[in-house]
Chains A and B, each alone.
Chain A
Amino acid sequence: METNREAQWIADRLATLEPNWSPDLARGHSLLASKLVKRHHSLTWIAVAATTAMVCVAALVLPTTRALAQQLWYRFILNRVEVVRLDLSRLPLQMQVTTNGLEQSVQDMEEAERKAGFRPYLPSPGLVDANPSITITGPISVEQTIHVRDIESALVKVGASDVQVPAEWEGVQLRTQIGPMVELNYPDGVQIVQTRPMELSVPAGFPLEQFAEVAFRSIGLSSWEARAMAQRFAANPAWLIDLPPDALVNIHEVSLQAGPAMQIEEVEGRGAVKRVTVVRSTSERMYSVRSGDRELSMKVADALP
């Protein structure tokens, strides 16, 4: 009896710890998706979701005459890829990532086509052997909200005191739709990720170029650099993949028979190349091919239609 009373007394003490709130599954799921996106940050298409902020910036500088104007939103399709030496995770935009589930494995190409909405392309036989395991990710929707105070704080931190952030930007939302992405993993370590170009939506009438420049400034680019980047993207908009300045990688533009591509070499501390990713795009598909062999990555990327 005494033991029971002791146990009850302890149970009563511990019961005071019962939280007076209820876990928010939707918010938890969103947080999980957001962290997963960051985890994949290195050179996969999922990384692109993490860098959507800058992608939006790229889209924002598109000349409005090239945009497909909707009643309330401008929609943009980006199908060119560029790699930049910036840390885009510092962009001061509130990001909400939602998915219809996370990665899911599929049995064969037919199922992949059904779930992804497009038929994945495979390299020519002989380049990579055996059947790949196939996973589908997304679609991923990213909604970013501008908070003027956050941008102002970021500008102060980088010493960009000359930049003014219009108050009417408060609450403006930028929307991005990414994927579905099909990932093929071969037993010999070759990974191919492909997706259709992504779609960006921004409110009609939003001062795009001005925002782009402010966003670039807020992550530390100089006035001249920010303006130059904005102009470059306005002339030739791209889907950007960010690589922080301290990342141990070499980036080269390479010329394949299929067209220009970006080659990204991940380097170990002593300079040895660890993995090589080749990124290229067409009007209807974006590819990332990654392996431990430079020549193989390039051949496989070149062999995709």
Chain B
Amino acid sequence: MEVSNSEGLDAIFRAHYERIARVIGRVIHDQARAEELAVEVFLKWWRNPQAHGEHAEGWLYRTAAREALDELRRQTRRSRFERLFSFVRESPKTPEHLYAVNAEQHRVRIVLAALSRRHAELLLLWSQGFSYQEMAVSLPVSPDYVGSLVIRAQDAFRKEYLKRYGNKS
């Protein structure tokens, strides 16, 4: 995709916004926050001329995955911090929170937050249905290695999950 300057922002936004928002939405449960982060990804792309050109799409998806995972890590750190102080002041739990702590998706997010960034990015794009070719462009790595990288990432996920939650449910 050749995009020469800011005029391409509108076109690339319309073409990729929904998929980008979905990638982020897998990690960030809150729709409003996920959509806000998705918009930030496009703004970063627009401000970074080096990201334009034929690798624009790959850059967008890589950045989306990173933004989502960074946000997830921030949320995880905050939640850890809040737990430390829960002895002093237990804030009322919202229905959303009560749901999330019991949900499988919460476990999966915790595991993703604990993985290396590269492994988490690979799994995120893989689970979103990206082809090996698309993942190679996004990350960027040689297409020949994507398969083995995904297997390593899956292995890391499985180990981390079992370490935290025991037998696979």
Contact = CB atoms under 8 A, between A and B. Distances in A.
A20 B42 CA distance: 23
Interface stretch (B20-28, B86-94, B135-143): B20-28
Interface string A230-258: 00000000000000000000000000000
Contact of A31 (B26, B27, B36): B36
A28 B35 CA distance: 7
A105 B25 CA distance: 33
Interface in A7-42: 7, 9-11, 13-19, 21-25, 27-29, 31-32, 35-36, 39
B48 to A, nearest CB: 13
Contact of B104 (A3, A16, A135): A16
Contacts, number: 93
Contacts of A135: 6-7
A9 B169 CA distance: 9
Interface in B14-41: 14, 17-18, 21-22, 25-27, 29, 31, 34-36, 38-40
A17 B17 contact: no
B33 to A, nearest CB: 11
Interface stretch (A85-93, A96-104, A202-210): A96-104
B102 interface: no
Nearest to B103: A16
A105 to B, nearest CB: 5
Given A18-B26, A25-B14, 12 more contacts: A3-B151, A9-B168, A15-B127, A17-B26, A17-B109, A19-B34, A22-B18, A28-B21, A28-B35, A29-B17, A35-B40, A102-B6
A15 B158 CA distance: 15
Given A19-B34, A35-B43, A14 B127 contact: yes
24 contacts: A6-B154, A6-B158, A10-B123, A13-B157, A14-B26, A14-B124, A16-B103, A17-B26, A17-B109, A17-B127, A23-B17, A23-B38, A28-B13, A28-B21, A28-B39, A29-B17, A31-B36, A31-B39, A35-B40, A35-B43, A102-B7, A103-B6, A104-B7, A135-B7
B51 interface: no
Which 8 A-B pairs rank lowest in CB-CB distance, beginning with the nearest? A19-B25, A23-B21, A14-B127, A17-B26, A16-B105, A23-B18, A21-B31, A104-B7
A105 B127 CA distance: 38
Contacts of B157: 10, 13
Interface of A: 3, 6-7, 9-11, 13-19, 21-25, 27-29, 31-32, 35-36, 39, 101-105, 135
B27 to A, nearest CB: 7
Contacts of A105: 4-5, 7
Interface centre among B13, B103, B127 (most CB of A within 10 A): B127
Nearest to B28: A19
Interface centre among B6, B39, B154 (most CB of A within 10 A): B39
Contacts of B154: 6-7, 10
A11 B43 contact: no
Nearest to A102: B10
B104 A14 contact: no
Contact of A19 (B22, B104, B123, B168): B22
A25 B13 CA distance: 9
A238 to B, nearest CB: 29
